[in-house]
Each structure stands twice: as C-alpha cells, then as structure tokens.
Amino acid sequence: MTFLNDLIEPFVRFQFMRHSLLAIVLVGTLCATIGVYVVLRRMAFIGDALSHTVLPGIVFAYFNGISLFFGAMVAGLLTALGIGWLSRRETLREDTAIGIMFTFMFALGILLMSTARSFRDFTHILFGNVLGVTTDDLTLIGIVAAVVLGALLLFHKELELTSFDPIHAEVIGLRPDRLRYGLLILLALTVVTAIQAVGVVLTSAMLVTPAATASLLTNRLPRMMLVAVGVAISAGVIGLYASYRYNVASGAAIVLACTLLFGLAWLGRTLSRWLSNRLPKRSKP
C-alpha cells in the first residue's frame, strides 16, 4: 500500500506533475500509434528528420513574433511535401531526399539562429520540458491527437493496404503516393506538437521505440498499435516518476524507460524463440 501511495503521491500533490502526466499520455498515444506506420513503412529516418527541420520555422516565427507552433508547423509541412516531391516517381531515392531536406532545413535554422543574440530561448524549444507544459499546450496536443488519430482510424484500411501492397492499391484505383503525402502530413503534425511538449529526442524515441517494441510482441496491426501505446504510456509514467524521485531529467528518463521496455521485449522474444526451438526437438523420439 505504501508503495502505491508513494507512486501516486507526486501526482496528487503537484499540478505540474498531473499536467506532465496528461501530456505524456496524449503524446505517447499519438506518437506510438502513428509510430507503428513509421516503423512498418521504414520511415524512422523521416520522423527523426522532421523533428530537426522544424528549427528554421521556429526561429523565423520567434523573430517575427508569430506563434512558434505555427512556424514549426509550416516548416514541418514544407519538409514533408519537399521529401515527397523530391522522391516522386523514384527520381531520387527517398532516404537521399530526406538527407537533403534534413540538412538544408537544419542549416537554415542554425544560420537564422546565429543572427540572434541569445540561443537560450531555442534550447528550451528544441529539448522541450515535459514538466513545464501549460494548459494551453495540453489543449493543443489534445486537438492534434484527436485529428491525427481520427484520420488514422478513418483511413486505416487504405493506409494498411498501401503499406504492404501498393500495387494492388493502384490496380483498384487508389493513389498510394497521395496516401503517403497524407501520412507525411499527419506525421508532421504529430512531430511538431510532440516537440513543443516533450522536445526533439523524446519525440523521436516515442515515434520509434514503442512501435518497435510492439512489433516484437505481436503480428496483428491493431494489436501492435495498442501494445505500442501501452509501452509509451508505461515508459512515460515510469520516467516521470523516476525524474521526480531521483531528481533526474524527465525527458531522458522517459527515453531510457522506453529503451528498457524494448530491451525486455527483445529478451522475452529471444528466450521464447530459443525455447520453442528446443522443445519440439526433445519431444521427437
């Protein structure tokens, strides 16, 4: 009982802990769900790139007194469309297109930033602070989560089909390239929102690690999404609690908790494979 009391005590006592818990649950759900597509469609590099290419948008918005979120969103969408356009009809391979957009946008951001006197304002944005989430942030995250998750649900069967068999999709009149653009836009929305709340590193981790963990544990798509969400939320709670109890950086603690859960899943799978390889052999006379 005392253990449980210890566990919930910080969340009962402090509003900022409740806010960050809610933020991590929302961001975790959002990132882990779309993250399953990111992992299955081998788009992990794009997620990572998107979280860096928003920099020029943020800096530009900061200089001009526009909403930073809006600046980041425009930069994120431009990156998504730029990657899609450069790699259309296989003129360039997608990873090459990503490499070009990633470095171009990031360098542009650094260049803009170097004209400013102080870098400190930007470090907060880039690395985020889940303990400093405001009510406005939460509202925004909630809205984006509803939009992205709603779109993923409504277009589930088309996204699923174009992910594993784009040729059949094309034969029956679907446009796999347009669905990919759509997914890139949803991904840009997700990444920009998540960065605002939890920073670049945590966003990349939340996109890839929970989904990768789930892919080790199940081979059904809807179940994979549920498991990924479970992993993300568990890691969020464990990380937040650890950061409170041991006074360590919250974002880093959450990422490490994610990696720990992935490690456990990996170990579990390796063990079960090892066992299933052994047992049938022994049962044969």
Partner 1 sequence: MSSKLRDVRLFYSRRRFAEPVAGSPALEIENLCVNRPNQSVLALENISVRVPVGTRLALIGPNGAGKSTLLKTIAGLLPIRSGKLLIYGLPVGACHHRVAYLPQRGEIDWRFPITLRRLVMTGRYVHLGWLRQPDARDWQIVDRMIERLGLADLADRQIGQLSGGQQQRALLARALAQESDLILLDEPTSAVDAETQAIISRLLAELSRDGKTFVVATHNLERLESDFDSALYLREGQQVPPPLGAPINAAVQPIR
Query: Taking the complex as a whole, how short is the minimal distance between the CB of residue 147 and partner 1, in angstroms?
Result: 16
Dihedral sign computed on CA atoms, order 124, 128, 134, 137: positive
For residue 100, count other CB atoms closer than 10 A to its CB. 16
| Contact with partner 1 (CB under 8 A) among 129, 215, 234, 259 | 215
Query: Taking the complex as a whole, how short is the minimal distance between the CB of residue 225 and partner 1, in angstroms?
Result: 10
Query: Taking the complex as a whole, how short is the minimal distance between the CB of residue 86 and partner 1, in angstroms?
Result: 15
Q: Is 40 exposed, middle or buried, given 0-12, 13-18 or 19+ CB atoms closer than 10 A?
A: middle
Judged by CB, which is closer to partner 1: 53, or 163?
Answer: 163
| Contact with partner 1 (CB under 8 A) among 219, 276, 277, 283 | 219
Judged by CB, which is closer to partner 1: 4, or 172?
Answer: 172
Query: Taking the complex as a whole, how short is the minimal distance between the CB of residue 229 and partner 1, in angstroms?
Result: 15
**Residue that the structure tokens 């399953």 belong to:** 36
Site map 134..173 versus partner 1, x via CB under 8 A: --------------------xx-xx-xx-xxx-xx-xxxx
| 273: contact with partner 1 by CB under 8 A | no
Cα(207)–Cα(212) distance, integer angstroms: 9
Site map 226..265 versus partner 1, x via CB under 8 A: ----------------------------------------
Q: C-alpha angle 264/268/269, rounded to 5°?
A: 120
User: Among residues 121, 129, 5, which one has the least CA distance to residue 59?
Assistant: 121
Judged by CB, which is closer to partner 1: 6, or 170?
Answer: 170
**Residue that the structure tokens 């794009």 belong to:** 46
Site for partner 1, residues 39 to 78, rule: CB under 8 A? 40
Phi, psi of 91 (to 5 degrees): -60, -45
Query: Quick one: which segment of 1-9, 98-106, 211-219, 266-274 binds partner 1 (CB under 8 A)?
Result: 211-219
Query: Taking the complex as a whole, how short is the minimal distance between the CB of residue 38 and partner 1, in angstroms?
Result: 14
Q: CB-based contacts of 276: which residues, under 8 Å, 6+ apart?
A: none
CA 211: distance to chain centroid? 9
Judged by CB, which is closer to partner 1: 36, or 184?
Answer: 36
Total length of the chain: 285
Judged by CB, which is closer to partner 1: 22, or 174?
Answer: 174
Q: Is residue 157 within 8 Å of 169, Cβ to Cβ?
A: no
Through-space distance between the first and last CA atoms of the chain, rounded to whole angstroms? 51
Cα(60)–Cα(73) distance, integer angstroms: 12
| Contact with partner 1 (CB under 8 A) among 3, 89, 117, 280 | 89
The three-state secondary structure class of 165 is coil
Judged by CB, which is closer to partner 1: 1, or 172?
Answer: 172
Site map 14..43 versus partner 1, x via CB under 8 A: --------------------------x---
Q: Which residues are at the interface with partner 1 (CB under 8 A)?
A: 40, 89, 154-155, 157-158, 160-161, 163-165, 167-168, 170-174, 215, 218-221, 224
